[in-house]
Amino acid sequence: MIATQDLVLSNYFRERIVLGINNLPLKGAVLLAPTHRARWDGLMLTMAAGRRVTGRDCRFMVTGTEMKGLQGWFLQRLGCFPVDQLRPSLTSLRFAVDLMVDRQQLVVFPEGRINRSEKPIRLKQGLSRLTQLADGKGVDVQVVPVGLGYSEIKPKPFSKAAICFEEPMSVAGNGKEAVKLFNSELALRMHSAEQAALKAVGREKKAP
């Protein structure tokens, strides 16, 4: 944390803004669902919702390709673990569910990859599936929509960064229809959070 928060992050951005911090649960299983706009997103999440703030770490589910080489070594020490988006293994899913059963804080980027376009948010099915699997274990997962915004599309040194937490939500019911409704509402709330973050840094995104 000294290297990432006190040195890298604080020296790269001239201002780091946190909005909606009261919406971040401090107890129980939490699944953070952030927009994904830059490689800085993980460090921003760790700053705003990590051990220094909530008393627990952010455990990131990332793609297998991101866990290779020097970057993989670094990400592993930040609490990341890999998953194949196209064919997620039972081991990866079980590990993620076990984290929630253990009432920890899991981070899943529902869009699946960095998206810098102005197109509407499109979510993968993995996050909803995880919450349903956890629900089957008797765990009430609090899903927190998160929006990240930067004063530049590709963040530059001494630019501004902001993160916004929306009120927690949960999947109501099982089946495809429940997932569809949940993802639709989650996408809207992620957009709302991102809009607030972008406004805070002087940049706004078009309505979906």
pLDDT at 16: 96
| Fold held by 2-200 | Glycerol-3-phosphate (1)-acyltransferase (3.40.1130)
pLDDT in tens, the chain (208 residues): 677 777 888 899 999 999 999 999 999 999 999 999 998 998 899 999 999 999 998 888 876 666 666 666 666 666 677 666 555 555 667 888 888 899 999 999 988 888 887 777 888 877 888 888 888 888 899 999 999 999 999 999 999 999 999 999 987 777 778 888 889 999 999 999 999 999 999 986 554 4
The number of beta carbons lying within 10 Å of the beta carbon of residue 125 is 13
Q: Give the residue extent of every domain in the chain.
A: 2-200
Distance CA 13, CA 142 (A): 30
Distance CA 155, CA 147 (A): 15
pTM, whole model, 2 decimals? 0.87
Distance CA 67, CA 50 (A): 20
Burial class, 178, CB count within 10 angstroms (exposed 0-12 / middle 13-18 / buried 19+): middle
Distance CA 157, CA 32 (A): 26
